[in-house]
Amino acid sequence: MHIYPDAKAVVRALAPDEPVILNRPHAAARAARFFIEKFPGKTLYAVKANPTPELILALWEAGITHYDVASIAEVRLVRSLLPHAVLCFMHPIKASAAIAEAYHKHGVKTFSLDSVEELEKIINACRDPETGEPAADLRLAVRLRVSSEYSELSLASKFGCDLLEAPGLLQQTRQHADWLGVCFHVGSQAMSPFAFVQALDRTRAAIAEASVVIDMIDVGGGFPSIYPDLEPAPMEDYFAIIAKHFESLPIAYNAELWCEPGRALCAEYSSMIVRVEKRRSGELYINDGAYGALYDAAHVSWRFPVRALEDDLRDADEDFAFYGPTCDDADYMQGPFALPGDIQAGDYIEIGMLGAYGAAMKTGFNGFGTAEQVIVTDEPMASLYDGSRQRPDADNVVSLR
């Protein structure tokens, strides 16, 4: 990938007719180091948030050794890049063939499940193909359903066993695994550390009821990034509250604590340059949209930060909405996005904080979707990790019970 100082330099050099993704490996590495130093346990990277190979390599170099993969394609991708990484197959509903290939061919030992059917599927897929003996080295994590009430994007309804089923499933799973974990996901962009308190309370109830030995607690993803209107509490607050509640769980004395952030590790990694193709009063027709890297801007009205890349715009900022390039009316992003009032067709805009669920979402629908990728060395439009945000002290740690 070519390296430029910033988005303006890219526009000067390329005057790009198509969107350009700007990647900041230094920002991803900084996020990884932050988690490795401050999270009181092990940090996995949830690959689905952004599977760009250069990002995965940057995280590995920064010290991330474990990867949460959710499909056989993600297993193959990460294994091809990182022969020594530990891969954890954390999608609770997998195809038998995917489990078998992951276990027998790629050395995956850790799997999540939320039902007896999935437990049986895993046991059968991992049997020795010659002797039919069940695998003795499985590491299994039971996914609990927890509330998403503190999160911007819910993950509460699809996966996870409920509190009534959990004790039985934990007991059954324990019989097939020497190493048993509990995992959950509080929903993405959890705006309060209390999301994790609630989930860990549920975890406590399930473990107490099951009375089995638990070797690992995986608090999942959901750690926030910063966007306009979405300024979370300091990340240290999340870590402190998780540590506190983890320590009081009825689990093995040497039990491990894991987390598997996607967004928090990669949101700052990418931004994107788009061009205004037409202006219709307060609406800008740009060359990326709902079927490109701006899926969340269209589908959940996410407001990403923006800035104009022209030096000759003089007017004060006004609020704009965007239309994407496809012929679909739904290719619309209401924003509002604040840009100079005299912005016009032909001008370029940088849209920030697209590293998570942005660059990863691009499709080729309607013939749009190609984007060159380059590296830039400037700072992301916002950062949780550059030291500019407050560190927790007695006043702003939200009640450590």
Ligand X SMILES: *Cc1c(COP(=O)(O)O)cnc(C)c1O
> H helices of 131-180, where?
166-174
What the block records as the tokens of 192 is 């309060």
Closer by beta carbon to ligand X, 146 or else 343: 146
Size of the site for ligand X (CB under 6 A): 18
Residue whose beta carbon is closest to ligand X: 221
Helix (H, G, I), strand (E, B) or coil at 210: helix
Selected range binding ligand X among 100-108, 215-223, 242-250, 309-317, rule: CB under 6 A: 215-223
Using CB under 6 A as the binding rule, whether residue 222 contacts ligand X is answered as yes
Closer by beta carbon to ligand X, 190 or else 339: 190
Q: State in angstroms the smallest separation of the CB of 218 from ligand X.
A: 8
Q: State in angstroms the smallest separation of the CB of 390 from ligand X.
A: 22
336 preceded by cis ω (within 30°)?
yes
Helix (H, G, I), strand (E, B) or coil at 344: coil
Contact, 324 vs 290, CB < 8 A? yes
Closer by beta carbon to ligand X, 248 or else 301: 301
Binding mask 319-358 vs ligand X (x if CB under 6 A, - otherwise)? -------------------------------------x--
Residue spans of beta strands (DSSP E) within 172-330 = 179-183, 188-190, 216-218, 256-259, 270-280, 283-286, 306-308, 317-323
List the one residue out of 299, 302, 276 whose CA is nearest residue 287: 276
What the block records as the tokens of 353 is 């904080």
Residue the block writes with tokens 């952030």:
261
CA 336 to centroid of chain Cα atoms: 24
What the block records as the tokens of 141 is 């994590």
Using CB under 6 A as the binding rule, whether residue 305 contacts ligand X is answered as no
Contact, 162 vs 124, CB < 8 A? no
Residues 87-106 that bind ligand X (CB under 6 A): 90
DSSP secondary structure string for all residues of 38-107: HSSSEEEEEGGG---HHHHHHHHHHT--EEEE-SHHHHHHHHHH-TT-EEEE--SS--HHHHHHHHHHH-
List the one residue out of 93, 103, 73, 256 whose CA is nearest residue 179: 256
Contact, 251 vs 217, CB < 8 A? yes
Using CB under 6 A as the binding rule, whether residue 221 contacts ligand X is answered as yes
Judged by CB under 6 A, which of 263, 275, 303, 307 binds ligand X? 263
Judged by CB under 6 A, which of 68, 118, 288, 347 binds ligand X? 68
Half-sphere exposure of 202 (CA within 13 A, CB side): 25
Selected range binding ligand X among 59-67, 113-121, 255-263, 309-317, rule: CB under 6 A: 255-263
Q: State in angstroms the smallest separation of the CB of 189 from ligand X.
A: 7
Residues 14-53 that bind ligand X (CB under 6 A): 46, 48-49
Question: Which amino acid type is present at position 159?
Answer: F
Using CB under 6 A as the binding rule, whether residue 380 contacts ligand X is answered as no
Closer by beta carbon to ligand X, 70 or else 274: 70
Closer by beta carbon to ligand X, 138 or else 339: 138
Q: State in angstroms the smallest separation of the CB of 112 from ligand X.
A: 7
Q: Within 10 Å of residue 181's Cβ, how many Cβ atoms?
A: 24
Q: State in angstroms the smallest separation of the CB of 208 from ligand X.
A: 24
Binding mask 154-193 vs ligand X (x if CB under 6 A, - otherwise)? -------------------------------x--x-----
The footprint of ligand X (CB under 6 A) covers 46, 48-49, 68, 70, 90, 185, 188, 220-223, 260-264, 356
